[in-house]
Amino acid sequence: MREYHPHRPSLPGRLLLLLPFAKKYHARHHRKTLSVIHNTVPLPSALCELDGLKAVYCSDIHYGLFLDLQRLHELVEQINSLKPDLIILGGDYGEDGPTSLTALTHLKALTAPLGVYGCAGNHDRADISEEELYRALSDNGIKPLINSSTVLHIRDKKLGLCAVDDVICGTPDYAAAFSSCLEADGIIFLPHSPDALPDAFRYSEKPPFFLALCGHTHGGQINPFGLHIRTGSHLSRSFGLRHLAGQFNENGTECIISRGVGYTGLPLRLHAKPELHLITFQQSEANR
Ligand SMILES: [Fe+2]
């Protein structure tokens, strides 16, 4: 385990929430601003039978002082009410290892017919081992994807899901993640940080995945007047300001970087509203 000190709630952030009614107002504001982003992703021709499949992607919940138990329960209800076929969690479940373990016991209530899947974020891996996190995910009904993969059999097709360990606090192993699902008709790669993408793109001549789902950046989290303050804590080393968040195509592969749900450092988001994603997979025009 690498030594890493995550951005836990800062002293100004803690003091802010001590103001009268601040916690209540903060929760209400979060409830009002959390958006469900509807993304459409084209399917590779080998998976065109999966047209209409729906997945929720939810990253960076950061359960703890700035996102309390009531909001976590409401979030679970909101995700379940979207009735996705599968749910993908992008890591950073809590502020640090211990709060992540607690968050996972509540995320157990997430439900989808094709299952719930989760990777490891830097905050989750800050003070706990890969094995502890793996066990906590499994014990709470979430299939752990940490340097590993799984293959879903849907409508006679094989959809692979895989992720590496976190690039900051863990030990990513791309061969372990990809080699075990190469039999799939198409793969979704879901590392916590977009900084895993350059090595993943280099893994083989053609990227082995058709979709990458990442969080970690919080969309910059605090962008006064739409300008990101370069603190480095929310910037991806690989994409910087080029892709703080959003859906784009890189190397012929569809990528989504989510602003995520919660907060780090300060209970504040400016020009980076919290979000989760309802992704609809669509047969591409060429295959219709
Ligand atoms: Fe995060």
Residue 74 included in any domain? yes
- Look up the pTM and report it: 0.93
pLDDT tens for 6-56 read: 666 777 777 777 766 677 888 999 999 999 999 999 999 999 999 999 999
Residue 4 included in any domain? no
Distance 284 CA to ligand 1 centre (A): 32
Residue 22 included in any domain? no
Residue 225 included in any domain? yes
pLDDT band at 224 (very low <50, low <70, confident <90, very high): confident
Distance 237 CA to ligand 1 centre (A): 15
pLDDT band at 118 (very low <50, low <70, confident <90, very high): very high
CATH number of domain containing 196: 3.60.21.10
Distance 198 CA to ligand 1 centre (A): 20
Residue 96 included in any domain? yes
Residue 10 included in any domain? no
Distance 121 CA to ligand 1 centre (A): 7
Distance 99 CA to ligand 1 centre (A): 13
Distance 50 CA to ligand 1 centre (A): 31
Q: Which of 14-23, 41-50, 240-249, 275-284 has the lowest mean pLDDT?
A: 14-23
Higher pLDDT, 149 or 287: 149
Residue 27 included in any domain? no
Mean pLDDT of the chain: 90
Higher pLDDT, 231 or 208: 208
Distance 215 CA to ligand 1 centre (A): 7
pLDDT the model gives residue 39: 98
Distance 216 CA to ligand 1 centre (A): 4
Residue 274 belongs to what domain range? 49-282
pLDDT the model gives residue 231: 58
pLDDT band at 74 (very low <50, low <70, confident <90, very high): very high
What is the number of structural domains in the chain?
1
> What does the H/E/C string look like for the chain?
CCCCCCCCCCHHHHHHCCCCCHHHHHHHHHHHHCEEEEEEEEECHHHHHHCCCEEEEECCCCECCCCCHHHHHHHHHHHHHCCCCEEEECCCCECCHHHHHHHHHHHCCCCCCCCEEECCCCCCCCCCCHHHHHHHHHHCCCEECCCEEEEEEECCEEEEEEECCCCCCCCCCHHHHHHCCCCCCEEEECCCCHHHHHHHHHCCCCCCCCEEEECCCHHHCECHHHCCCCCCCCCCCCCCCCCCCEEEEECCEEEEECCCCCCCCCCCCECCCCEEEEEEEEECHHHC
Residue 19 included in any domain? no
pLDDT the model gives residue 1: 45
pLDDT band at 126 (very low <50, low <70, confident <90, very high): confident
Higher pLDDT, 18 or 62: 62
